[in-house]
Structure 1
Amino acid sequence: MIHRQWEQKEPIRYITCVHTDAKKYTVKNALTVGKKYPLKNETDEFYFIVDNTGKIGGYEKTYFEGA
């Protein structure tokens, strides 16, 4: 269960949120436009970051641009 170690892991890099216009889910409560987030893990479709709640969350890559 490697995902349990992500919080202690050093970030891969920092990514910036560019929008919170979600069609299906509400992300405005967990992401802030213009804020940089520490990227903990990445898949083909998702970034796993520490969001505004202080927990690891998985979000589609369309919300971010790499810094």
Structure 2
Amino acid sequence: MLHETWQNNDIKKVKVAHTNAAKYKVSDMLTAGSIYTVVNETEEYIFVIDNSGKVGGYYKTYFEEVK
């Protein structure tokens, strides 16, 4: 299964721009201003290793790319 190897991926780095969610509570899993490693990406979601230490999928609107 492909998703079992995602923790080893390092596609790019992203910084959390905000945790203001209209529908879901993301402030427990993401810290505003912190930099996370992207392990997978789709058109709508970015998958990162979040504060729980596991891979979580979040809308791209929470992030900005670090160059």
Same fold by TM-score greater than 0.5: yes
For 2:23, the equivalent position in structure 1 comes to: 24
Listed as ranges, the gaps of 5+ residues in structure 1 are none
For 2:36, the equivalent position in structure 1 comes to: 37
> How far 1:8 moved relative to its partner?
2.0
For 1:2, the equivalent position in structure 2 comes to: 2
Distance in structure 1 (CA, Å) of the matches to 2:44 and 2:15: 16
1:13 and 2:12 are equivalent in the alignment: yes
1:50 and 2:53 are equivalent in the alignment: no
TM-score by length of 1: 0.95
Q: Which letter does structure 2 place at the counterpart of 1:13?
A: K
Which structure 1 residue ranges, 4+ long, deviate > 4 Å from structure 2? none
The structure whose residues are more often helix, as a share, is 2
Distance in structure 2 (CA, Å) of the matches to 1:33 and 1:8: 24
What is the alpha-carbon root mean square deviation over aligned residues?
Answer: 0.6
TM-score by length of 2: 0.95
Distance in structure 2 (CA, Å) of the matches to 1:62 and 1:7: 22
Of all paired residues, the percent bearing the same amino acid is: 47
> How far 1:44 moved relative to its partner?
0.2
The SS at the match of 2:8 is coil
